[in-house]
Amino acid sequence: MITVTDHAMLAFIERDIGIELELVRLAIAANVARAVAAAAELGLTDYNVRAGGVFYLVRRGAVVSIQPEATCAGPETRARSLPSCRRAAAQ
C-alpha cells in the first residue's frame, strides 16, 4: 500500500474537495484568541485551551493538536492514556 503524506492529503482536501484551509486556520486562531492573549500577558508559550467542546494544545506559541474534549475526559476513557491527555492533566 502506498503512503500518503499530510501535505498530499491537505492539497487534496483543498484542491479537489474545495475546502479553503486558510479559513480553517483562521477559525482555529479565532477560537483560541482570548487564551492566546492571556497567555502572552503571562509569558506562556506552552498551554492548553478548552473552547467550544474542543481541546487545543498550544506548544511554543502554536496550536499543535486539537482533540474533542471528551477524548481526555473521565478516568473511564481509554484515550485518557494518550500522551497529549496526560500532559494536559499535569498542567
pLDDT digits (tens, 9 = 90+) for 63-76: 999 998 766 655 44
pLDDT at 69 (0 to 100): 75
- Yes or no: say if 77 and 71 are a contact pair by the CB < 8 Å rule: yes
pLDDT at 59 (0 to 100): 95
pLDDT at 78 (0 to 100): 43
pLDDT at 91 (0 to 100): 46
Would you give the DSSP letter of residue 13? I
Question: Is residue 32 pLDDT above 60, yes or no?
Answer: yes
- Report the chain's mean pLDDT, rounded to a whole number: 83
- Yes or no: say if 54 and 68 are a contact pair by the CB < 8 Å rule: yes
Half-sphere exposure of 32 (CA within 13 A, CB side): 24
Instruction: Give the confidence band of 27 by pLDDT, cuts at 50, 70, 90.
Output: very high
Using DSSP, state whether 89 is helix, strand or coil.
Answer: helix
Cell matching residue 80: 485518557
pTM over 0.95: no
- Yes or no: say if 47 and 78 are a contact pair by the CB < 8 Å rule: no
Residues 6+ apart with CB under 8 A from 71: 55, 77, 79, 82, 85
Question: Is residue 43 pLDDT above 70, yes or no?
Answer: yes
Domain extent listing, the chain: 6-90
